[in-house]
Structure 1
Amino acid sequence: MKKCHIAYLACTAALLGTGLGAAPPAPGHVVHLVQPGDSIQKAVDRAEPGDTVLLAAGTYHESVDVKTHGLTLRGMGRDTVLQPAAKAKTNPKSKTKKAVGACAAGGNGICVVGTKAHPVEDVTVASLTVSGFTKNGVYAMAADALTVRNVTAVKNGVWGIAQEASRHGEFRGNTARDNGDAGLFLANSVTQELGATDSEGTVVEHNRLEGNRIGVTVRRLRNLTLARNHLTGNCAAVFVVGDENKPKAGRVTVAENRIVRNNKSCPKTARLDALQGSGIVLTGAEDSLITRNVIEDNVGKSSLSGGIVLFKSFVGTTSDRNRISDNRLRGNSPADLVNTDTTGKGNTFVGNTCKASKPAGLC
């Protein structure tokens, strides 16, 4: 049986010292303790399925590729910080180049990347900060049962935490702040035009999303729950996005979130109108439930502004059979409930507490 790299009691104490109450690894699984100045990647490459790579508090200047099933990459809270490595100075006399991992080359902080045929399974990333990466803080592709928990993603160039072509994900207790696009981004694919895929019960819960362009984007997915999150200070809080591909995006539950003052102003892009003051936007989505959310003081003059907005997608796809019920809305402008998708079929507004709607009569 393999022994832990540090004494078992010390391993247990270190894990409990994170304040998370995490159980020690199962007997036979190794804890690889990494200190600032050590290589995280070397520890990850050395680890076997079920092991934990435990990062002491401090700042690490590197990116990390995770490809081992069942691996846990855990810090000791927000004071465990991953930032981009300093760019190496070019030596014109040298004919060799320093090898750079795929994650770093892509501008990402932590990458969990498998293939369609061989997804990376049961990886956990927890209790650390990823900050300042040119693209994404945490990025997953072809991951099955990825858990991202108590991660702080701050000031990354595109997405704070992102997952594509994956299923069974859990995103809990994270903070994504001041990222260039979405704080949390979940999609089928950004490089291919495909129908929505089944996320098979992915959960986004108890996260704080603040100061991003969009708090959470759910793009061309089905069977996902977004619940009990706090979203404030973004240009838009929640986007559920579909298009003309089949099957349509949908069967998304957005419940018990607090969505307040998402009034940051963001300019128009090639894919999307200017954003400001959007609470929850459904565009090209079907069979979704928007319920028991508190949505207040989201104010803007964008075509997508308002508390809860149904909007025909920019390629003309309608939103159909969505149920908007039992939400508490106030102070949103141009209205608490906005339905510009007048050709959408079967959408219902029931039991909401609000004052103004477009068209009138939805409250």
Structure 2
Amino acid sequence: MNKCHIAYLACAAALLGTGLGAAPSAAGHKVHLVKPGESIQKAVDNALPGDTVLLAHGTHHGSVDVTTPGLTLRGMGRGTVLVPEAGAGATTLPAPTLPTATAGAARATGSCAAAGNGICVTGTKEHGVDGVTIASLTVTGFAKTGVHALEADRLTVRNVTAVRNGVWGIATERSARGVFRGNTARDNGDAGLFLANTVKEEEGASDTGGTVVERNRLEGNRIGVTIRRLRNLTVAGNHLTGNCAAVFVVGDENKPKAGLVTVRENRIERNNKSCPKTARLDALQGSGIVLTGTEDNLITQNVIRDNVGTSPLSGGIVVFKSFVGTPSERNRISDNLLEGNSPADLVNTDPGEGNTFQGNSCLTSKPAGLC
């Protein structure tokens, strides 16, 4: 048992028997303990900026809206599990569909639960929710998303296990300067991690201010991580396996164009699950890293092995013109180790200018000569 877990248990023991308790922390902020069967939402609503809502080990039912800046919502590890209320939007993972305009807009439909999400960090353009942390818990079985954030600045999601949610495991819209570290997203209907400007409107890519996605395990999802219509972020040190596709960096015809994404030092292996075609995207299987309609990205020092499929998007690293006809430009693919990928380790079907392939260790490419 590690020291951190012992500290959590000590805190919980001090509060057990007091109901929905609160105790001062060393910095003057309070810790609000919630035991299974008690209301997480009540604790969150009673908390002040800087407080921690601590979920005890066990199964908690229901969804929760977080609108208080600086709040920490933390469990005691994977054994702290959040599931839907009985009959309130649990999912059996039907065939994946494209997100609708209400997929993440919890407040617009009245609550996080009404939108089919587990934990919602929800701000507005006028009043963002800054500095929230979600940590050390499992969220599973929700119809849409395990953890969803909207207009959240400096959000941290760490050591969260998001499993078998209907659309996304962990997702953000209109958010910046986030940190997503040490999470596990497994067997979700669409992306394990989904970061986007917005799913409701057509607009140019937004600058994330340096969001970091690192040391996560993404397994058995439709797509491991999707970066959609964003600029200025890093995806590093993650392990992606068993997805239909591992990493998608996606843009379109809007301005500013998506790009300035660094994808480095990831292990991307055997992403050979088969996923059917959708209204906007071809069938997926065997895709390592896909760049489509995006610019000025750096793909470097990744290990990409044994991703095999027959989709137009299959291959180790694939540069692909977007489905709306926007070319990818000035992307640098360098110093990656690729082997056993099919139809090829490197695939470039994009007519865009300035895409370069240098220093990669690989055997096959389409067209020939990229290795």
TM-score (norm 1): 0.90
Distance in 2 (alpha carbons) for counterparts of 1:245 and 1:15: 50
1:177 is the counterpart of 2:174: no
1:286 is the counterpart of 2:295: yes
1:352 is the counterpart of 2:360: yes
Cα distance change on mapping 1:108 and 1:322 into 2, 3 Å: same
| 2:257 paired residue number | 248
Q: Is the 8 A contact 1:65 1:101 kept in 2?
A: no
Distance in 1 (alpha carbons) for counterparts of 2:13 and 2:132: 20
1:192 is the counterpart of 2:201: yes
Shift of 1:12: 8.4
Shift of 1:14: 3.0
Cα distance change on mapping 1:106 and 1:325 into 2, 3 Å: same
Shift of 1:125: 0.2
Distance in 1 (alpha carbons) for counterparts of 2:127 and 2:222: 33
Cα distance change on mapping 1:103 and 1:300 into 2, 3 Å: same
| Cα RMSD, aligned residues only | 1.7
Q: Is the 8 A contact 2:285 2:311 kept in 1?
A: yes
Deviation by residue 1:90-137 (Cα, 9 ceiling, x = unmatched): xxxxxxxxxx96100000000001001110000000000000000000
Describe the SS at the equivalent of 1:103: coil
1:323 pairs with 332, 339, 349, which one?
332
| 2:10 paired residue number | 13
Shift of 1:85: 0.3
Distance in 2 (alpha carbons) for counterparts of 1:351 and 1:260: 20
Deviation by residue 1:50-81 (Cα, 9 ceiling, x = unmatched): 00000110001110000001000000000000
Shift of 1:202: 0.3
Distance in 2 (alpha carbons) for counterparts of 1:271 and 1:184: 19
1:74-85 pair list within 5 angstroms: 74-85=74-85
Describe the SS at the equivalent of 2:353: coil
| 1:38 paired residue number | 38
Describe the SS at the equivalent of 1:252: strand
Cα distance change on mapping 1:362 and 1:286 into 2, 3 Å: same
| 1:168 paired residue number | 177
Distance in 1 (alpha carbons) for counterparts of 2:166 and 2:314: 24
1:269 pairs with 263, 266, 278, which one?
278
Deviation by residue 1:161-191 (Cα, 9 ceiling, x = unmatched): 0000000000000000000000000000001
Distance in 1 (alpha carbons) for counterparts of 2:26 and 2:228: 37
Cα distance change on mapping 1:102 and 1:287 into 2, 3 Å: same
Describe the SS at the equivalent of 1:108: coil
1:138 is the counterpart of 2:147: yes
Shift of 1:306: 0.0
- State the number of aligned residues: 337
Whichever residue aligns with residue 146 of structure 2, its letter is G
| 1:122 paired residue number | 131
Q: Is the 8 A contact 2:144 2:166 kept in 1?
A: yes
Q: Is the 8 A contact 2:12 2:56 kept in 1?
A: no
Shift of 1:87: 2.7
Cα distance change on mapping 1:33 and 1:314 into 2, 3 Å: same
1:103 is the counterpart of 2:100: no
| 2:370 paired residue number | 362
TM-score (norm 2): 0.89
Whichever residue aligns with residue 37 of structure 2, its letter is G
Shift of 1:332: 0.1
| 2:341 paired residue number | 332
Describe the SS at the equivalent of 2:310: coil
Distance in 2 (alpha carbons) for counterparts of 1:361 and 1:44: 57
1:194-213 pair list within 5 angstroms: 194-213=203-222
Question: Which runs of 5 or more residues in structure 2 are unaligned?
Answer: 1-5, 15-23, 89-108
| 1:87 paired residue number | 87
Describe the SS at the equivalent of 1:168: coil
Q: Is the 8 A contact 2:319 2:347 kept in 1?
A: yes
Distance in 1 (alpha carbons) for counterparts of 2:157 and 2:59: 20
Distance in 1 (alpha carbons) for counterparts of 2:206 and 2:272: 31
Shift of 1:28: 1.3
Q: Is the 8 A contact 2:8 2:76 kept in 1?
A: no
Whichever residue aligns with residue 63 of structure 1, its letter is S
Shift of 1:142: 0.3
The alignment-based identity, stated in percent, is: 77
Shift of 1:325: 0.3
Whichever residue aligns with residue 297 of structure 1, its letter is D
